[in-house]
Amino acid sequence: MKTGQINVQTENIFPIIKKFLYSDHEIFLRELVSNASDASQKLKFFASNGEFKGSVEDQKVEVILDTKANTLTIRDNGLGMTEDEIDKYINQIAFSGAEEFVEKYKGKEGAEQIIGHFGLGFYSSFMVAEKVQIKTLSYKKGAKAVQWESNGSPEYTIEEIKKKEIGTDIVLFISEESKEFSEKQRIQEILDKYCKFLSIPVVFGTKTEYIDDPKGEKDKDGKVKRVANEVPNNINNTTPAWTKKPSEISDDDYSTFYRELYPANMDSPLFHIHLNVDYPFNLTGILYFPKLKENIEVQKNKINLYSNQVFITDNVEQIVPEFLTLLHGVIDSPDIPLNVSRSYLQSDGNVKKISSHITKKVADKLASMYKNDRKDFEEKWDDLKIFVQYGALSDEKFGEKAKKFSLVKSTKNEFFSIEEYKEKVATLQTNKDDKVVMLYTNDPVEQFGFVKKANDRGYDVLHVDGPIAPHWIAKLEQSYENISFARVDADTLDKLIQKDEETPSKLSKEEEEVLKPLFESVVDKEKFTVQFESMNSDDAPIIITQPEFIRRMMEQQKMGGGGFYGAFPEMHSLMVNANHDKIQEILKTDTDEVKTVKIKQLTDIALLSQGLLKGEALSLFIDRSIEKV
Ligand code: ADP
Ligand code: MG
């Protein structure tokens, strides 16, 4: 037996590995299983190029838990290591700069990421084990089996052992404080999390299945008996859908894989994108478009990030643009530096390229769906729009591309691209400043009266709704110089689409002065401003509106944007149609008292039509109206 010193510059590295590096101790198993799987892949490669003559048919990784001995063994039949190789790959830790790094970052967020960065994957086993053995036999001709052992101090021993099979056993003697890792349930859970799609089969003991009795024995009812049968407990699907060529898989396979990824998710995705890049970086994956619910925040973090089929994280923020985190699915790339801190990721060139590649793919997919099957795209639009709008708002490049396939829907349920719609309404709805005014409602039922008035005048009205529509509209107004949006109930039609010619008013200034206080006496002055407008005589006598500006402020404030402190007061305009016959009539009635009664009735009707007449005021109005019958 020989002893030696693991080549680290400090004696303190192991306590640091144990305590500080990974906050998640469970990843030791990911590191060891992926090393084992790498070893198998390498041997398969040597078999394929003739360097290894034996069989690689039965490559697998076995995880063996011995609860009595408190050991966990990760066994592979991969390429194994010679004594020299142990010295090179295990003893001489490539450690330049690591010491300094650890000193600087210990205990800080992100420090847990550095093990892999410095090739310390194997040493993460010391986070949970008080002693680790490597028993290994190399595939090389004449190689001798050796056992390496260390208790986590920089000292190790190495000796020859008897081992017939090529491959490596990593034996962990689980420490007292890490007892959880000698529980079957816990190990199963970790394997399910990280190794579900590993490319080499992973087997964890056996499990019991109930099958028809192979001897055909029957129970008293004459049915074949069900008997317990121990079968290997296979952890993984070694060929998940994303590793296959799109031409090899059917739509059903994509759905099945979606279920495999999200067993708890009942909804089916709208469609998917299969990513497959090998230059200038490696990336495979499948992204699914879910049906988005109104509350988009809770739906993030559904994309799983893999590196060579080893699960890394389901938190892909900073790897893909934020709006893409609304998608579901898998991204697999060996080129994302997975083990370094997240702040570093943002500035990594590969990550930037990958991120813009995915953005482009997603935009291209939407553009081609729009182009190839417009009708189908329109049918999906209501489920897609939040994603597209969110993307347009948060990613300049995506926004530029999305102009081509962003749709608006009219209240007559017709879809248009922005350009198409502009063309459609330009003739009638261009105002005196040469802007095309796009009228919209967010609630065609509640704003029915306004929509109808607009339609009566030949104007078209859009149906624009959804949680981020207000922001999206503002964005469109910025990116197209000559369009503006106005909600139908924001002002009178004459004001919403101002033309050069003005309708003359039938009320003089003096007459307005007489009527104004009377109107103000029937409403809450804090909430309503009274204005006289010269509208068409066939417009309603009174129209109650909420200015576009105030409403947008309130909406943005509700969504946490806008930057206003305190509540924005609810404000309405009470617009009196100076040209309506009823107003003229009221002006001519005798006393202020009679005038006020009539004004009250007209105002209540206007409030009622807006859903603003409530409680006692509503009940009084009803009583009054019944009396008049
Ligand atoms: P990395 O995997 O990033 O190289 P590790 O610390 O996980 O770093 O492993 C160091 C090296 O030890 C590996 O590159 C490999 O050469 C060798 N090694 C580790 N585990 C095994 C194994 N099960 N079989 C063969 N070689 C292994
Ligand atoms: Mg490794």
* pLDDT, tens digit, 9 for 90 and up, residues 479-524: 898 999 999 998 888 888 888 777 788 888 999 998 999 999 998 8
Average per-residue pLDDT for the chain: 86
- pLDDT for residue 110: 47
Determine the pLDDT at residue 111. 47
- Please work out whether the CB of residue 288 comes within 6 Å of at least one atom of ligand 1: no
Asked whether residue 561 carries a pLDDT value surpassing 60, the answer given is no
Rounded distance between C-alpha atoms, residue 198 and residue 519, angstroms: 75
pLDDT confidence bin for 14, thresholds 50/70/90: low
Cβ atoms 486, 543 nearer than 8 A:
no
Distance in angstroms (rounded) separating the CA atoms of residues 149 and 159:
9
Residue 562: predicted pLDDT: 47
**Cβ atoms of 582 and 602 closer than 8 Å:** yes
Residue-level pLDDT at 204: 97
More confident call, 476 vs 119: 476
387/404 Cα distance (integer angstroms): 15
What pLDDT score was predicted for residue 502? Answer: 76
pLDDT value, residue 148: 96
How far apart are the C-alpha atoms of 541 and 583, rounded to whole Å? 7
Expressed in angstroms and rounded, the spacing between residue 34 Cα and the centre of ligand 2 is: 6
Rounded distance from Cα 207 to ligand 1 centre (Å) = 30
- Identify the residue with better confidence: 295 or 55: 55
Nearest ligand, CA of residue 36?
1
pLDDT of residue 343: 57
Report the pLDDT value the prediction gives residue 570, as an integer from 0 to 100.
Answer: 77
Distance CA 137, CA 85 (A): 11
Higher pLDDT, 108 or 589: 589
Residue 96 has pLDDT above 60, yes or no: no
The pLDDT tens digits of the residues spanning 397-418 come to: 999 999 999 999 999 999 999 9
Residue labelled with tokens 């922001």: 471
- Ligand 1 contact via 89 beta carbon (within 6 Å): yes
CA of residue 33 to ligand 2 center, whole Å: 9
If one residue of 44, 89, 172 were mutated to test the ligand 1 pocket, choosing by the most ligand atoms within 8 A of its CB, it would be: 89
pLDDT(446) > 60: yes
CB 291 within 8 Å of CB 267: yes
DSSP class of 181 = G
Band of residue 265 on the pLDDT scale cut at 50, 70, 90: confident
CA-nearest residue for atom 22, ligand 1, is 36
Model pLDDT for residues 69-90, shown as the tens digit of each residue: 999 999 999 999 999 999 888 8
Write a three-state SS string for 289-337. ECCCCCCCHHHCCCEEEEECCEEEECCCECCECHHHHHCEEEEECCCCC
> Is any ligand 1 atom within 6 A of the Cβ of residue 125?
no
Question: What pLDDT score was predicted for residue 263?
Answer: 83
Indicate if ligand 1 lies below 6 Å from the C-beta of 76: yes
How much is the average pLDDT of 154-170? 94
Structural Rg of the chain based on CA atoms? 36
| CA atoms within 13 A of residue 280's CA, in its CB half-sphere | 9
Question: Residues near 503 by Cβ (< 8 Å), separated by ≥ 6?
Answer: 494, 534, 535, 536, 579
Euclidean distance between the first and final Cα of the chain, in Å? 111
Which residue type occupies 116?
Answer: G
d(CA 4, CA 2): 7
Contact 485, 476 (CB under 8 A): yes
Sheet holding 129-137, edge to edge: 2-5, 155-160, 146-150, 129-137, 167-174, 71-76, 61-66, 202-212, 226-234
Tell me how far apart the alpha carbons of residues 277 and 280 are, in angstroms, rounded to a whole number: 8
Instruction: Look at residues 393, 249, 404 and name the one whose alpha carbon lies nearest to residue 326.
Output: 393
pTM: 0.77
Q: What ligand is nearest to the CA atom of residue 200? A: 1
Apex 51 CA angle, 45 and 55, nearest 5:
70
Probe ligand 1: pick from 38, 77, 166, max atoms within 8 Å of CB?
A: 38
Nearest atom in ligand 1 to the alpha carbon of residue 120 is 6
Tally of CA atoms within 13 A in the half-sphere of 355 that contains its CB: 21
Angle at 205 between CA 201 and CA 207, to 5 degrees: 100
The residue whose two tokens read 């017709």 is: 414
Secondary structure class of 500 (helix, strand, coil):
coil
State how far the Cα of 215 lies from the Cα of 437, in Å rounded to an integer. Answer: 81
Greater confidence (478 vs 266) lies with 478
For residues 317-322, average pLDDT: 80
Which residue is associated with the tokens 């056992």? 147
| Any ligand 1 atom below 6 A from CB of 167 | no
CA 161 to chain centre: 52
Give the C-alpha separation, 339 to 346, whole Å: 13
3-class secondary-structure state, position 15: helix
Rounded CA-CA distance 134/80 in Å is 10
Q: Tens digits of per-residue pLDDT, 115-150?
A: 444 546 888 898 899 999 999 999 999 999 999 999
The percent of residues above 90 in pLDDT, for the chain, comes to 50
Q: How many CA atoms lie within 13 A of 25 on its CB side?
A: 19
> Number of C-alpha atoms within 13 angstroms, CB side, residue 141?
3
Q: Convert the pLDDT of each residue in 187-242 to its tens digit.
A: 999 999 999 999 999 999 999 999 998 888 888 888 898 999 999 999 999 999 99
Quote the pLDDT of residue 423: 93
All domains of the chain in start order, with CATH: 2-201 (3.30.565.10), 241-376 (3.30.230.80), 406-496 (3.40.50.11260), 509-548+565-627 (1.20.120.790)
Mean pLDDT is lowest, of 21-30, 53-62, 429-438, for: 21-30
pLDDT-derived band of residue 602, with 50, 70 and 90 as boundaries? very high
If phi over 0 gives left and psi between -120 and 50 gives alpha, with beta otherwise, what is residue 50?
left
- Beta carbon of 39 within 6 Å of any ligand 1 atom: yes
Q: Place 612 in a pLDDT band, splitting at 50, 70 and 90.
A: confident
